[in-house]
A = this chain, B = another copy of it.
Amino acid sequence: MRTIITITREFGAGGGEIGRKLAEALKIPFYDKAIILTAAKQSQLDVESLRKWDERVPKAFGFGQSLFDFYGQPLDEQLFAAQKQAIVNLAEQGSCVLVGRNADYILKEYDHVCNVFIYAGFDWRVNRMSGKMPELTRSKVAMETKAVDKARRKYCEFYTGREWGKTDSFDLCLNSERLGIDRCVSVIIHALKYSE
């Protein structure tokens, strides 16, 4: 049976790692930033523009003429449309794990989609990311964590009208600090298996 798992995650909570391990265990493809490349290939947009605005809302959206490209369409709308199409195409190909980029919202009319939210306490997330980025001070990592969360929240609310991280959008929400990364993977697999 086709299974699409979307993972929405707080920065540093390990959603990417959980997604990768899940895809490995289920032997299905894993997509996070790769969605961008797929979107770029399928559209006229260049990879660098997509990278720059990935999961962000342009600050001056709607106010700056510079945001309109030569097609007369705001860049980010075009980007969102390209990413949306890429996500739909990937989901149509078969089972996969999709991380971020509002995939839960984009695929909301699809069957066999399991939407997961991964979250954890702020301090735990900062500690975890500090371990991965020893070149940065802890306070720099804390600032970055807040900034990324804020960008993802705005990105979600801007494009979906939904409040980011609210339980309603998800089948299950797991606290990776309390359960641990591997147990999150195992709990998701168990939740999926039972339904087959």
Q: Are A171 and B179 in touch, CB under 8 angstroms? A: yes
Number of this chain's copies in the assembly equals 2
Cβ–Cβ < 8 Å partners of A119 in chain B: 167-168
Q: How far is the CA of A115 from the CA of B172 in the complex (A)?
A: 14
Q: Hey, what's the 0/1 contact readout for A174-192 against B, CB within 8 Å counting as 1?
A: 1100111001001100110
What's the nearest-Cβ distance from chain B to residue A104, in Å?
12
Q: How far is the CA of A191 from the CA of B194 in the complex (A)?
A: 14
Contacting B at CB under 8 A, from A110-130, are 117, 119, 121
Q: Are B195 and A183 in touch, CB under 8 angstroms? A: yes
Q: Are A187 and B191 in touch, CB under 8 angstroms? A: yes
Q: How large is the interface on A (under 10, 10 to 19, 20 to 34, 35 or more residues)?
A: 20 to 34
A172 in complex: contacting residue of B165, B172, B194, B195, CB < 8 Å: B172
Q: Are A183 and B173 in touch, CB under 8 angstroms? A: no
Q: How far is the CA of A195 from the CA of B175 in the complex (A)?
A: 14
A183-B195, A187-B194, A194-B186 in contact; A171/B175 too (CB < 8 A)? yes
A179 in complex: contacting residue of B180, B186, B191, CB < 8 Å: B191
Q: Is A68 an interface residue (CB 8 A)?
A: no
Q: How far is the CA of A5 from the CA of B117 in the complex (A)?
A: 21
Cβ–Cβ < 8 Å partners of A187 in chain B: 172, 187, 190-191, 194
Q: Is A105 an interface residue (CB 8 A)?
A: no
Q: Are B171 and A178 in touch, CB under 8 angstroms? A: yes
Contacting B at CB under 8 A, from A135-181, are 165, 167-168, 170-175, 178-180
Binding site for B on A (CB under 8 A): 117, 119, 121, 165, 167-168, 170-175, 178-180, 183, 186-187, 190-191, 194-195
Report 20 cross-chain contacts, Cβ distance below 8 Å, ordered by A residue.
A117-B167, A117-B173, A119-B167, A119-B168, A121-B168, A167-B167, A167-B173, A167-B175, A170-B175, A171-B178, A171-B179, A172-B172, A172-B173, A172-B175, A173-B173, A179-B195, A183-B191, A183-B194, A183-B195, A187-B191
